[in-house]
Amino acid sequence: MQAKYLKDYQAPDYLVDTIELTVELLAEKTLVESKVHYKKANPTATCLILNGEQQKVLSVLLDGRALAASDYLLTDEAMQLDNLPDSFELTIKTEIDPVNNTSLEGLYLSAGAYCTQCEAEGFRKITYYQDRPDVLAVFTTHIIADQSEFPYLLSNGNKVAEQQLSDGRTQVTWQDPFPKPCYLFALVAGDFDCLADTYTTKSGREVKLELFVDKGNLKRAAHAMSSLKTSMQWDEQRFGLEYDLDVYMIVAVDFFNMGAMENKGLNVFNSKCVLADQDSATDADYLSIESIVGHEYFHNWTGNRVTCRDWFQLSLKEGLTVFRDQEFSMDLGSRAVNRIHQVKVMREHQFAEDAGPMSHPIRPESVIEMNNFYTVTVYDKGAEVIRMMHSIVGEQGFQAGMKLYFQRHDGQAVTCDDFVAAMQDANNADLSLFKRWYSQSGTPEVKADIRYSNGTLSVTLAQHTPSTADQQEKLPLHIPVNVAFFDAQGQLLTDIAGGAEQVLHLTQAQQTFEFAVASQPYVSLLRDFSAPVKLSYNYSDEALSCLIPAETSQYTKWELMQALYNKHLLAKITNQNYQFPTVIGDTIKALMADDQTDKALLAEILSVPSVNSLLEIASGATIDAVIDAQKALKNMLASTLQAELQSCYQQNHIGKYQYSQNAIAQRSLANACLGLLAVNAKSTKNITLVELVNQQYQTADNMTDKLAAMSAASIIGGELFAGIIQHFDQQWRGDALVMDKWFAVQARQDVDDILDKIEQLQSHPDFNWNNPNRVRALIGQFAMFNPVQFHHSSGRGYRFLAQVIQKMNAINPQVAARMITPLIQFSKLDDARIQIIREELAKLAELPKLSKDLFEKISKALQQ
C-alpha cells in the first residue's frame, strides 16, 4: 500500500465544467449514470485516469459512442482512457450495492434511508470520476425512486424538476449552481419528519431551512434548528458572511462514521449531533449540537466556497472552521469553560498523538489513507494555530485577513500557504517564521526561568520540540506566550513596561525578557493557553495561592489550579507516601466560599487531571503509579471538602429544569460535587450520601441530572447502581441514542468483571456492531475512558480491544481505525504492557483483508 506525498502534487490533467448524475435507487442493484464534460488542462497529458471502486461497469460512452471494454483499462481502483480529444463528454453507467455497504462511505442505507458520505474519497464508490478536491464542477442530480417508499429525494442546491415516470416511479432533479468538488456531493432518499423554518439574511433574502429526522423525532429537533438560525446570524455579525442558496437542509441519520458532513446545502448529520430534548439529552449534548451545527454551517464559506487544493491542506478548512465554531460557542456561552474543554482535548488527545506513531504536522506530508488524517492534530491543533494568528494580528486584523482571503479565493481550491498569505498581506505582518507550525509536528516544550534581582525581573523562555515518529529534526517556532505580572497582594502591576498583561514573542531557542520592577512580582505564564505547548515552570505553592484568586483570566485560574494539582500529583507519583499539602483544599475552599467564582468554572476546578494528561507530563512513571496518585487526590478532595461539597450541592441542585447558561452552570457544579460525594460514599459507606445519589436519580426531571446520578452511582456500585441500571434499561430500551449513555456508563465502570459485563451487553437488543455510535458507546468508551481496566496488567483489556478491531475491520474500516488509537499510543507505557500490545498488533497486521486504514496505523506503530 503506497503513500502519497504533498511534494508530488500535480494539478489535474483534465478539468470538468459540468457533471450530470442519474441515480436509480434499486437496492442491491442501484444504477448510477454520470455524464461529464471534460476539458484537457495539461497539454502534455496522454490519458485520463478516473478513480472508481466497488462498481460494476455497465457502459462507457465517449461523445455518445459506446466504447468497447478494450478501449479502456480497468483496475480495482481506477479506469484509464487513452487517445482522448481535448474536449469531450464521457457517460459512464455502473451498478453499485448500497444495501451491503457497511463501511458507511459512498452510498449506503441507514435504517431504511439512502444516504451518502463522500469526504474524503467516497465519491469513487459512487461513480468513476477524478475524486480530488481541486476538480470543481457544477452538479445536476436526478434521483429516481419509488415515492411511496422514499417520499423525500434530496441532493445539493435547488430542486428544479419533479416528474412521474411512466412506471409510477418519481424522478426529481437538483441543481447546485456553485461549482464544487465531489466530496461535497450528497444524496438522501427516505421517509422523514421535517421541521421547516425560514431565515432572512442580513441582505433580506429568505432562506428555507429544513431539518429531516426519523419519524416521531420532531420533538427532539427544535434545538438543532435554533442552533442553525443562531449560527447563520453569528456568521453575519462576526464575519460578515451570508448564506448563498435558497434552501439549507440537514438530515439526521443513525448510521454515520463521524459527527456531521458539510455537503453543500444538504448537511448529513449523525442523529446524535441533532436530536435533543430535556428528557433524553444532557447539557453537554445541547452544547455539542450547537457547536457541530455551527461547524457545518460555517464550512459553507470556509471549506465550500473556498475549498482545499488537495487533502494535505485539510487543516485549511478544518482548523479554520473549528476556530470559528469555538469562537461561536465562546460568544454564546462561557468563554472560560469552552477554553478549558479545548485545552483538555489538546492535552489529553493531541499531545498523545504527537508522541505516538501517527504524529504529523497540521499539514501532513505523506498519507496512505486520508480517512486517518481527520485527527485532533489537523482539527484542534489546526484551530490553535489559527488562534495564535488571531492573537498576533488581533480581531480586526484577522477579519481583514479573512476578507482578503475571500476576495482572492472565492470559488477556488487553495492551500494553507494562501491563507497565511492573505493574513500576512492584509496586516503587513511577517508570518514567515510562524508558518513553521504548518510543517513541523510535535509538542514544543517551553521552559520558563524567572529571576529577580536589583529591580530587574528576567523571564527566560527556552523552547525545545522533541523529535517525533515522523520527523527527527526540529527548529524553533514562533510561540506567543501570554503573561501577566502581579504583586504579592495579587494586584496587577500597572507600571511595568509593555503592561501588566502582555504577549512575549518567543522566536528563538532561548530568549530573556527583562523588566524594571520595584519588587519581586508573581508571573502567570501561558495565559489562556496562548500556544499549544507544554509549559514547564515550577510555581511555588505561595505563587499559586496568590495567583489563583488574583488572575483576571477565568480560564487561567483553572490552568493555575491544574499546575497546583499536577505539581503535587507528580510528587505523589514518585513517592507513594507523599502527603498532599493543605494548600490544595484551602485554595478550593476559598474559591467555593467566594460568590464571585463562576459556578461552571468551579465545576471544572473540582475535576482532577485525567490519567492521559498526567501520563504526558510524568516522564518515566508507570501508569499504575499515575492511577494511584489520581485516585489518592480524588479521595483527599472528597474527604477534606465533604462539608463544603454537601452545602454547595444543596445550594446548586435546583430541582426544576431550565435551559439557560446559568442553569447549566449550576447543574454542572452540583453534579461535580455529587461525583466527589460519591467517592466519599464509596470509601466511608456513608448511607446519607448514597441516598443523595439515589434521590437525584429518582427525582431528576432532566437527563443531565439523571446521567450524573447514574455516573455517581457507578462509582458507589453495588445494589444502588444495579437498580439504577435496570430502571434506565426499562425506561429507555429501544431508544438507542439514549441507551448509548447507558452502555457508556457501564463500560467506564472500574470493576474487575468489566469484560464479562461488556460481553453480556453486546447481546442487548439495542447493541449493533454495524452502528458506529453503539460500538463507540460500549467499546470506545471502555478503551478511552476506563484507564484502570483497559490497562489491566494482565493485558486482557488490550486483547479484548484487538479482537473488536479485527471484527470491525471487516465491517467498517474507518471506525476500526479510529478505535485502535489507545492501542497504538503506547509510548508512555511500561515494557511489559508494550510487549503485550505489540503482540496483538502483530497479529492484526497479519489479517488477510486488513484495510488500508488499519494497515497505515498498525505498521507505523510496529515500527516504533
User: Active-site residue numbers?
Assistant: 296
- The beta-carbon contacts of 788-791 under 8 Å, at least 24 apart in sequence, are 788/627, 788/750, 789/750, 789/751, 789/752, 789/754, 789/755, 790/822, 791/623, 791/627, 791/829, 791/833
257 makes contact with ligand TRP (CB under 6 A): yes
8 Å CB contact between 774 and 743 = yes
Distance, CA of 507 to CA of 462 (rounded, Å): 10
Q: Which stretch binds ligand TRP (CB under 6 A): 11-19, 128-136, 258-266, 579-587?
A: 258-266
Chain position carrying cell 496568590: 546
- Applying CB under 6 A, among 290, 296, 380, 551 the residue interacting with ligand TRP is 296
374 makes contact with ligand TRP (CB under 6 A): yes
704 makes contact with ligand TRP (CB under 6 A): no
Contacted entry of Zn ion, ligand TRP, none for residue 183, CB cut-off 5 to 8 Å set by kind: none
Q: Which stretch binds ligand TRP (CB under 6 A): 137-145, 259-267, 425-433, 467-475?
A: 259-267
262 makes contact with ligand TRP (CB under 6 A): yes
Smallest separation, CB 507 to ligand TRP (Å):
32
Smallest separation, CB 752 to ligand TRP (Å):
36
> Hey, what's the cell of 226?
435554533
Choose among 541, 659, 645: nearest CA to 603. 645
369 makes contact with ligand TRP (CB under 6 A): no
Distance, CA of 748 to CA of 754 (rounded, Å): 9
- Applying CB under 6 A, among 33, 119, 310, 354 the residue interacting with ligand TRP is 119
Q: Nearer to ligand TRP by C-beta: 296 or 380?
A: 296
The DSSP-derived string for 290-358 is HHHHHHHHHTTTBTTTBEESSGGGHHHHHHHHHHHHHHHHHHHS-HHHHHHHHHHHIIIIIHHHHTSTT
Q: Nearer to Zn ion by C-beta: 318 or 853?
A: 318
The DSSP-derived string for 676-699 is HHHHHHHHH--HHHHHHHHHHHHH
Residues 585-614 that bind ligand TRP (CB under 6 A): none
- Applying CB under 6 A, among 258, 266, 316, 720 the residue interacting with ligand TRP is 258
**Secondary structure of residue 189 in the 3-state scheme:** strand
315 makes contact with ligand TRP (CB under 6 A): no
8 Å CB contact between 110 and 255 = yes
- Which residue is closest to ligand TRP by CB? 258
Q: Which stretch binds ligand TRP (CB under 6 A): 146-154, 260-268, 509-517, 531-539?
A: 260-268
Q: Nearer to ligand TRP by C-beta: 302 or 786?
A: 302
Percent helix / strand / coil, the chain, rounded to 5: 45, 20, 30
Site string for Zn ion, 724-763 (x = CB under 5 A): ----------------------------------------
| Beta carbons within 8 Å of 449's beta carbon, 6+ residues apart | 458, 459, 460, 462, 537
Site string for Zn ion, 198-227 (x = CB under 5 A): ------------------------------
Smallest separation, CB 130 to ligand TRP (Å):
19
**Residue 719: is it exposed, middle or buried by C-beta count within 10 angstroms (0-12/13-18/19+)?**
exposed
696 makes contact with ligand TRP (CB under 6 A): no
CA 520 to chain CA centroid, Å, is: 42
Distance, CA of 684 to CA of 681 (rounded, Å): 5
Distance, CA of 212 to CA of 626 (rounded, Å): 46
8 Å CB contact between 187 and 114 = yes
**Sign of the torsion formed by the C-alpha atoms of 209, 212, 215 and 219:** negative
- Applying CB under 6 A, among 221, 260, 385, 824 the residue interacting with ligand TRP is 260
Q: Which stretch binds ligand TRP (CB under 6 A): 254-262, 397-405, 761-769, 823-831?
A: 254-262
Smallest separation, CB 620 to Zn ion (Å):
37
- Applying CB under 6 A, among 13, 131, 290, 318 the residue interacting with ligand TRP is 318
Cα 581 to Cα 165, 448, 569, 633, 637, distances in angstroms: 79, 24, 11, 11, 11
Q: Nearer to ligand TRP by C-beta: 261 or 665?
A: 261
> Hey, what's the cell of 69?
471494454
Residues 320-379 that bind Zn ion (CB under 5 A): 321
Task: Give the phi and the psi of residue 564 in degrees, each rounded to 5.
Answer: -65, -45
Q: Nearer to Zn ion by C-beta: 128 or 323?
A: 323
Contacted entry of Zn ion, ligand TRP, none for residue 258, CB cut-off 5 to 8 Å set by kind: ligand TRP
Q: Nearer to Zn ion by C-beta: 291 or 468?
A: 291
Contacted entry of Zn ion, ligand TRP, none for residue 119, CB cut-off 5 to 8 Å set by kind: ligand TRP
**Secondary structure of residue 614 in the 3-state scheme:** helix
245 makes contact with ligand TRP (CB under 6 A): no
8 Å CB contact between 761 and 753 = no
Q: Nearer to Zn ion by C-beta: 306 or 626?
A: 306
Residues 301-330 that bind Zn ion (CB under 5 A): 318, 321
Smallest separation, CB 323 to ligand TRP (Å):
13
Smallest separation, CB 299 to Zn ion (Å):
6
Residues 618-677 that bind Zn ion (CB under 5 A): none
117 makes contact with ligand TRP (CB under 6 A): yes
Contacted entry of ligand TRP, Zn ion, none for residue 260, CB cut-off 5 to 8 Å set by kind: ligand TRP
**Residue 542: is it exposed, middle or buried by C-beta count within 10 angstroms (0-12/13-18/19+)?**
exposed
Peptide linkage before 120 cis (omega within 30 of 0): yes
Q: Nearer to ligand TRP by C-beta: 102 or 696?
A: 102
Q: Which residues pair with 414 in a beta bridge?
A: 308
Smallest separation, CB 257 to ligand TRP (Å):
4
Q: Nearer to ligand TRP by C-beta: 261 or 707?
A: 261
Contacted entry of ligand TRP, Zn ion, none for residue 117, CB cut-off 5 to 8 Å set by kind: ligand TRP
Smallest separation, CB 82 to ligand TRP (Å):
33
Q: Nearer to ligand TRP by C-beta: 122 or 357?
A: 122
627 makes contact with ligand TRP (CB under 6 A): no
| Beta carbons within 8 Å of 309's beta carbon, 6+ residues apart | 9, 133, 134, 413, 414, 415
Exposure of 288 in the CB half-sphere (CA atoms within 13 A): 17
Q: Nearer to ligand TRP by C-beta: 106 or 190?
A: 106
622 makes contact with ligand TRP (CB under 6 A): no
- Applying CB under 6 A, among 16, 261, 385, 844 the residue interacting with ligand TRP is 261
8 Å CB contact between 184 and 263 = yes
185 makes contact with ligand TRP (CB under 6 A): no
Choose among 441, 315, 358: nearest CA to 853. 358
**Edge-to-edge, what's the strand order for the sheet holding 72-74?**
47-51, 78-82, 72-74
Q: What is the 3-state secondary structure (H, E, C) of 810-857?
A: HHCHHHHHHHCHHHHCCCCCCHHHHHHHHHHHHHHHCCCCCCHHHHHH
Give me the residues that bind ligand TRP (CB under 6 A), please.
Answer: 117, 119-120, 257-258, 260-262, 295-296, 318, 374
Chain residues that interact with Zn ion, rule: CB under 5 A: 318, 321
